[in-house]
Structure 1
């Protein structure tokens, strides 16, 4: 049965209203990067079952899905209906129709947050330092503290020489210590602009005036002709204990001045006991990964504070939902709430006393990394026919076997079963029947851990293929046996545009220039 259709004008009216809704772009991330409906959420088909439960936890919320105007949106709508979502519509005519009606479109990733960062930069007249100035200060021996506010993973690849990793959400823990050293010039950097700007604005809001943003971050440094420090050996330092202790008082003053709402443990329990039936509630834990794994509230999302601001649209699909920030006590949560209110999210609050208050009230914590089961996985896995690595190794000698890898194109490039062909799961129904019309074709489906393979196998079975198997344990199980692997991005059945990497990681200087020019223009 075909999904209901909704017109472009009706979606525009919905997005301008105070209603709960989510607009989901189900194309590949690279397609989304090129052009998208303004304020839509990127959720590629290959990730639907894995992420929709967190993005839209209430299955009664109206959902609108769209693609370029083809068949993928209809397939996505069917998947959403199958896993329990009751109000799903497809945009009539897709993105092509939206553009014909001259409705708002943008390009790039995390556009709302990046545009917000540029606005903060202009409105607050934040001071900057150019790479050339910073380099000369380093040569002169000027007293500097270079704070790299990217994630530990990003920092671990490279940094500005002498930089230390202080993720953006943790800056409030360092504020008092930095205030004690007025002779030290604080430099805040990220890969580009947004997190440098927000980090500088945070410290200035906390009363620190001797701080500047590094203009254009590590990309600006490279474009100025300077070398980055590769794989820095220094571990991320812990905030000085006295400074971290005083952060809670700073947060209390910020919350009072900005009218940030507190929510008690008892109030949170009432919300959790009601479930998602009466609306949408996001619990966002802004601490570091190690802290989260050492104990968190069941159902909370782990989104470190700096990333919560930088990538808000990746985590909040229902803009008018209730957002509750959580940290150990309250400091980091207050700063995240402060920025979300500045970005226009109206229903934002902070768990008073944080995890400490939760635990002291006798409430349970969950330990380890969060890994929820994809929606529909139990049904799909019950229908999958498994093959182990040893049996697949024997079958590799057969010329008639087709091995599909449905992990990301980056994962495929890093390691895959020899002879495998890569395809995004979002394209299977549209690409495979034409290329491989024989429904008796023997097909083995792989991915890193086997979970995406299960859904791909189900799609192939629905297409009428009768000899479909899933590599049990995925490529990880294959690697564990010591069997050889293929590497590289060749042998693709669809364009590998499922992953968009920052130019700072995998781009030429021209890519970096284009990206920075794009980011600066967002303020207009």
Structure 2
């Protein structure tokens, strides 16, 4: 049996407290991760390591500690990280059970550092809030009122408080003064649950808005539990120019800069950040916190798009290396400083770019991550695949390794869905995955399927092809698709069903989620590694 380097709970804890770099990575799928994990364990599924590693872990000699729940996934992940060039990789001694037996605190749900921080802020600052019943009464009274939804626009469109406007995260500090120019207008900030409502409302309080400001207590969950009706498919969102009028913008800029300075945020330049990114002794993340539309229009090389609100909400996913340096960019002096003020209070070494010019934004389009090249595999075109699947004598089986939600929504007729990490176990059980003379792999774009092809070929000894361009290419040429959960060769554990997401959630699950959030501050105190503070 191959032995691997190990790091103990005590070692990892001491590293966190000393603010030295460490990436504590839970390589299970998202659902088992959400059931139980250490506070700063970032979910990093085994199935996606090749796609995500070089972006989320940009320094190849960063210390990495891998954990699972004893399934053997961490050992498999170790081999993948080493093959990708990482030089300081270890397994957590005793896996998750070892962490617990050593006295380590464990948490449920996802994005826990950010959610716990939100509760910490509310407990320290007593962020003003309104109940769903109080907001409903205010709306009916005709009082001057705006409801600003701090979630992503796609979440807002799924369900929203009636009459609310989509103003995601860091946009609040830039846009709110223009959206509520009368100081008598009450501003209520909401999200689905609590975190983004609290951080959004406290951002406006911190920024010194003269308006009465409050968070909608428990967000759309609280609204639903109070028996109120939500809207669906709304398109209301802030105007792109809102808040950019010179007098308003200067006021917002000065207040955001003052907050960032109080929180200990430091300043840098585009060129210095680029030099930092090339260092081998320190991990540096560079994020552009403007809207996705602004980012894709033009951005600086090396900067990833990370809208400020989501960066604060999903910090451990964007920044899995605890102890790393984070650099933020915007073009207004408001969004980056406000976002930075929160990251700094989350005990993250944070900088904001000053002095950038339009000429620095030399790239356009979506972020193009650097990825390794998969082992060569034969490609098959969509029409060739269609003919192959129609030929029953060919003995071909099509496997789809896309996210399960995408498969259920739409997939190629006859495809089996499988987790890449479950290929071996599913192949051993012919009840889940039938034998074939040849296999074809697909996913949304074909990227993940290309990496899975070598795994499947080594496992089965059968010919394995990859659908060129994946399911997107199949759809582009007009070939048929179907939906549903037929032919699942793996359990759908790649996605944790959030009680605050979408519609149709059980009231008991929503209430249990709120009760869990209320307990996070006590868990933080027991854990003792966070280093959070509040200005």
Identify the TM-score tier after normalising by the shorter chain. over 0.9
Decide whether aligned partners of structure 1 residues 430 and 74 sit closer, same or farther in structure 2, where only a CA change above 3 A counts.
farther
Q: Deviations over 1:217-247 (max 9, x none)?
A: 1111111111111101334333243223432
Written as runs of structure 1 = structure 2, the 5 A alignment for 1:145-184 is 145-177=146-178, 180-184=181-185
Alignment partner of 2:339 out of 307, 329, 336: 336
Q: Which residue number corresponds to residue 260 of structure 1?
A: 265
Q: Which residue number corresponds to residue 226 of structure 1?
A: 228
Q: Which residue number corresponds to residue 531 of structure 2?
A: none
Q: Deviations over 1:28-84 (max 9, x none)?
A: 000100001221111111221122112210001111111111221111111111111
Q: Deviations over 1:310-360 (max 9, x none)?
A: 111111111211111111132111111110111111x2111013xxx243x
Q: 1:430 and 1:14 mapped to 2: Cα distance?
A: 36
Query: Is this contact kept in 1: 2:177–2:243, CA < 8 A?
Result: no
Q: Which residue number corresponds to residue 315 of structure 1?
A: 318
Alignment partner of 1:367 out of 364, 368, 381: 364
The CA deviation at 1:415 is 1.2
Q: 1:174 and 1:483 mapped to 2: Cα distance?
A: 44
Query: Is this contact kept in 2: 1:69–1:92, CA < 8 A?
Result: no
Coordinate RMSD, CA, aligned: 2.1
3-state SS of the aligned residue for 2:485? coil
Q: Does 1:491 align with 2:487?
A: yes
Decide whether aligned partners of structure 1 residues 18 and 139 sit closer, same or farther in structure 2, where only a CA change above 3 A counts.
closer
Q: 2:461 and 2:271 mapped to 1: Cα distance?
A: 53
The CA deviation at 1:180 is 4.1
The CA deviation at 1:278 is 2.5
Written as runs of structure 1 = structure 2, the 5 A alignment for 1:248-397 is 248-272=253-277, 275-345=278-348, 347-353=349-355, 357-359=356-358, 362-363=359-360, 365-374=362-371, 376=372, 378-380=373-375, 383-397=376-390
Decide whether aligned partners of structure 1 residues 255 and 462 sit closer, same or farther in structure 2, where only a CA change above 3 A counts.
same
Q: Which residue number corresponds to residue 403 of structure 2?
A: 408
Q: Higher mean Cα deviation, 434-443 or 228-237? A: 434-443
Q: Higher mean Cα deviation, 473-482 or 181-190? A: 473-482
Q: 2:436 and 2:243 mapped to 1: Cα distance?
A: 65
Query: Is this contact kept in 1: 2:129–2:215, CA < 8 A?
Result: yes
Q: 2:330 and 2:194 mapped to 1: Cα distance?
A: 26
Q: Higher mean Cα deviation, 1-10 or 107-116? A: 1-10
> TM-score, normalised on structure 1?
0.93
Q: 2:204 and 2:7 mapped to 1: Cα distance?
A: 45
The CA deviation at 1:391 is 1.8
3-state SS of the aligned residue for 2:215? strand
3-state SS of the aligned residue for 1:230? coil
Q: How many residues align?
A: 512
Q: 1:487 and 1:438 mapped to 2: Cα distance?
A: 21
Unaligned runs of 5+ in 2: 523-535
Q: Which residue number corresponds to residue 418 of structure 1?
A: 413
Q: Which residue number corresponds to residue 443 of structure 1?
A: 439
Unaligned runs of 5+ in 1: none
The CA deviation at 1:455 is 0.8
Query: Is this contact kept in 2: 1:285–1:301, CA < 8 A?
Result: yes
The CA deviation at 1:7 is 3.5
